[in-house]
Amino acid sequence: MCGIVGYVGPRDAVPVLLEGLHRLEYRGYDSAGIAVEDAGGGGVRVAKTAGRVADLRRAVPDDMAGATGIAHTRWATHGEPSDRNAHPHVDAAGRIAIVHNGVFENSDRLRAQLVADGVALASDTDSEVLAHLVARSTGETLEDAVREALAQVEGTYGVIVMDAERPGELVAARRGSPVVLGVGEQEMLVASDVAALVRYTQQVIYLDDDEIATVTADGYRTSTMGARATSTTRSPTSIDAASAEYELGDHPDFMYKEMREQPDAVDRCLRGRLDHRFSSARLDGVGLTPQDYQRIRRVKLLGCGSAYYAGQLGAQLIEELARIPADAEPASEFRYRNPVVDPDTLYVVLSQSGETLDTLAAVQELKRKGGHVIGVVNAVGSTIARECGHGLFLHAGPEVSVAATKSFTTMGVALAMLALDLGRVRDLSITEGRRLVGGLSQLPDQIARILAAEDEIAEIARKYADARHMFFVGRVRAWPAAREGAQKLKEISYVHAEAYQASELKHGPLALINPEMPTVVLVPDDELLTKNTGTIEEIKARGGPVIAVTDAELPAGLATDVIRVPKAHEALSPITLSVPLQLFAYHLAHALGRDVDRPRNLAKSVTVE
Ligand code: AGP
């Protein structure tokens, strides 16, 4: 959460920083700000405002320019979204400017100390203290001063600091929040995410935790934090995303673009990984031998939000295809319950961004206790991918919209391949393996056909736009897809959507069914088909409208509305069934006039607790 960006080089920093913020806006969008070393020698100039980057563009004075600058787009943790709480923050003399992503947990104490020392604080934020601490430091260099200041804070940070008295220099540091350096031709950028850099360079360095960098137009030097600083030798690596992948193109919003990209994303995820000869999957990145696979007694999948639901979907696939007990758990809960970490369990951690703090903390807890953990991650070079060391990349391409779409479907595909690979080392027959390889190969085409039916789904979605509450129900395989469908609807439309196992309805929630409570029922064409049609009858008998999402042939008139999808391999149906739910949520949200890419209170990539 929060996007930070810095620039030093021959260009005017203002347009570079505004462009960077525009690309980082999905990380937070309640206020934005920019600070540059004034080209006219006037020290640090700051422009900031509550609202979006577009509001900041209007607030930046025409004559604001400089070759060095920092900028921030905020997702509020401490202090309401307002002009005064927007970053950058400056010290009392207006010399030091800072941007911060993360949380300083001891900020109350530090703020009280500063106030006791006569410092007038200008905001309610935890972050502002850093500007004052750097200004008060006796360190000889800016880097020394930042080190000294950061030694006093507790919590997480990705920070960039500049000093009007040391023009042409930025200092960046990280603990728990991502910082990446972009190495250009006689220019350097710093950001919380490569999205802000790709337009200017493909050469990047991901800072490690407790690493600090001094950056000038000519280059950079990095070293460890802590009392005894040690230089770290960091060579740039190339990023795999082209600038165009972050562009909206002709699409109305990123969620739409990313839903539409799913056939290609799934195709890329599958590419080179299906083993037709042995009816299995080739997952070299997992780094496990067949003997290692044989020793696995359990699989535990961890992720947050949609990644957790994808983990549930994967647990079902693994148990069904590989016959290994498997379950999923929210990564956000994991470390706080002092989990038993078992050497015979394979831990699979899921994250689109690779930066979700709760998920990263789960990985660190697992590693500390000797657990074997692999990552299923979209963002190459991300902290979780690097921390895991082994796993599967989704190759879905950048996902910008807050609502996960193509990352969810490709997580399902990646986990289906893992289940296939595990299964083929155990009891899954070559015939069943071949059927699943065939089913996986058909997914890109099947998803394209679902997307082609968008108009019909949109019409059904608009019909239910007045509903204030909705149920999403599914059984066994379809249950994680129902949870994801409810999540999509709530986060982008703000309609209350609750997911239930279809089998649990009659144990309580059926009491809520009435003509004002539509229920989306997922009906895969599997061995539970008649159970699901029975559920539809029970809802109808109580006057509840039913939207059936199915790859089966349902009797005419059974459901109020039917969304048909192509028939998938039964184990893969939760993946195909989830795609129309994205379109349903998207069009319902649009019917309500929502900003689907920037839902209220949310941000992509949750890098705070
Ligand atoms: C889903 O639409 C949300 N964006 C959210 O639940 C997300 O899946 C979760 O925060 C995990 O993000 P990650 O995959 O980047 O770790």
Query: Nearest C-alpha to atom 8 of ligand 1 is from which residue?
Result: 306
Contact between 422 and 318 under an 8 Å Cβ cutoff? The reply is yes
228 pLDDT above the threshold of 80: no
pLDDT, position 246:
84
Query: Nearest C-alpha to atom 11 of ligand 1 is from which residue?
Result: 304
pTM, 2 dp: 0.88
Residue 219 sits in the same domain as residue 108:
yes
pLDDT, position 229:
82
pLDDT, position 46:
95
Distance 405 CA to ligand 1 centre (A): 10
Distance 433 CA to ligand 1 centre (A): 31
Residue 414 sits in the same domain as residue 463:
no
* CA proximity to 609, closest of 362, 307, 337: 362
Nearest atom, ligand 1, residue 404 CA: 2
Catalytic residue annotation: 2, 604
Distance 117 CA to ligand 1 centre (A): 42
Residue 301 sits in the same domain as residue 356:
yes
274 pLDDT above the threshold of 90: yes
Tell me which of 281 and 335 has the higher pLDDT. Answer: 281
Distance 604 CA to ligand 1 centre (A): 7
Ligand 1 pocket: which of 348, 350, 353 to mutate (most atoms <8 Å of CB)? 353
Query: Nearest C-alpha to atom 6 of ligand 1 is from which residue?
Result: 305
Residues at CB less than 6 angstroms from ligand 1: 304-307, 351-353, 356, 359, 402-404, 491, 605-606
201 pLDDT above the threshold of 80: yes
Query: Is residue 354 in a domain?
Result: yes
- The first and second tokens of residue 266, run together, are 């799934």
607 pLDDT above the threshold of 80: no
Nearest atom, ligand 1, residue 606 CA: 10
- The first and second tokens of residue 163, run together, are 């000093």
Average pLDDT over every residue of 539-561: 96
Residue 399 sits in the same domain as residue 490:
no
Query: Is residue 605 in a domain?
Result: no
Give how many domains the chain has, as a whole number: 3
Contact between 28 and 1 under an 8 Å Cβ cutoff? The reply is yes
pLDDT, position 76:
76
Q: What is the pLDDT of residues 468-500, one digit of tens each?
A: 999 999 999 999 999 999 999 999 999 999 999
pLDDT, position 42:
76
Residue 131 sits in the same domain as residue 159:
yes
Distance 74 CA to ligand 1 centre (A): 18
* CATH number of the domain encompassing residue 491: 3.40.50.10490
Residue 131 sits in the same domain as residue 13:
yes
423 pLDDT above the threshold of 90: yes
Whole-number percent of the chain with pLDDT over 70: 99
Residue 428 sits in the same domain as residue 534:
no
Q: What is the pLDDT of residues 48-64, one digit of tens each?
A: 999 888 899 999 999 99
Residue 303 sits in the same domain as residue 258:
yes
pLDDT band at 176 (very low <50, low <70, confident <90, very high): confident
Average pLDDT over every residue of 585-593: 98
Contact between 331 and 362 under an 8 Å Cβ cutoff? The reply is yes
Nearest atom, ligand 1, residue 359 CA: 16
Examine the fold and report which residue of 409, 444, 479 is the final residue of a domain before the chain moves on. Answer: 444
Q: What is the pLDDT of residues 79-128, one digit of tens each?
A: 788 888 999 999 999 999 999 999 999 999 999 999 999 999 999 999 99
- Collect all residues with Cβ–Cβ distance below 8 Å to 368 and sequence separation of at least 6: none
- The first and second tokens of residue 556, run together, are 């005419």
493-497 contact pairs (CB < 8 A, 24+): 493/585, 493/588, 493/589, 493/592, 493/594, 494/592, 494/594, 494/599, 494/600, 495/467, 495/468, 495/469, 495/470, 495/588, 495/592, 496/468, 496/469, 496/470, 497/469, 497/470, 497/471, 497/472
Nearest atom, ligand 1, residue 379 CA: 15
Residue 385 sits in the same domain as residue 501:
no
pLDDT, position 283:
96
Question: 3-class DSSP state for residue 393?
Answer: strand
pLDDT band at 323 (very low <50, low <70, confident <90, very high): very high
DSSP string, 340-388: ---TTEEEEEEESSS--HHHHHHHHHHHHTT-EEEEEESSTT-HHHHHH
Ligand 1 pocket: which of 259, 309, 356, 383 to mutate (most atoms <8 Å of CB)? 356
Residue 364 sits in the same domain as residue 495:
no
Ligand 1 pocket: which of 26, 177, 258, 304 to mutate (most atoms <8 Å of CB)? 304
Residue 276 sits in the same domain as residue 196:
no
Query: Nearest C-alpha to atom 16 of ligand 1 is from which residue?
Result: 351
* CATH number of the domain encompassing residue 158: 3.60.20.10
Ligand 1 pocket: which of 254, 259, 306 to mutate (most atoms <8 Å of CB)? 306
Distance 584 CA to ligand 1 centre (A): 19
pLDDT, position 79:
77
Q: What is the pLDDT of residues 389-413, one digit of tens each?
A: 999 999 999 999 999 999 999 999 9
Distance 434 CA to ligand 1 centre (A): 32
pLDDT, position 26:
74
Question: 3-class DSSP state for residue 330?
Answer: strand
Contact between 413 and 269 under an 8 Å Cβ cutoff? The reply is yes
414 pLDDT above the threshold of 90: yes
pLDDT band at 24 (very low <50, low <70, confident <90, very high): confident
Nearest atom, ligand 1, residue 605 CA: 15
Residue 347 sits in the same domain as residue 474:
no
pLDDT, position 80:
82
Query: Is residue 216 in a domain?
Result: yes
Average pLDDT of the chain is: 94
Q: Which residue segment(s) compose the domain that 574 sits in? A: 453-595
pLDDT, position 457:
98
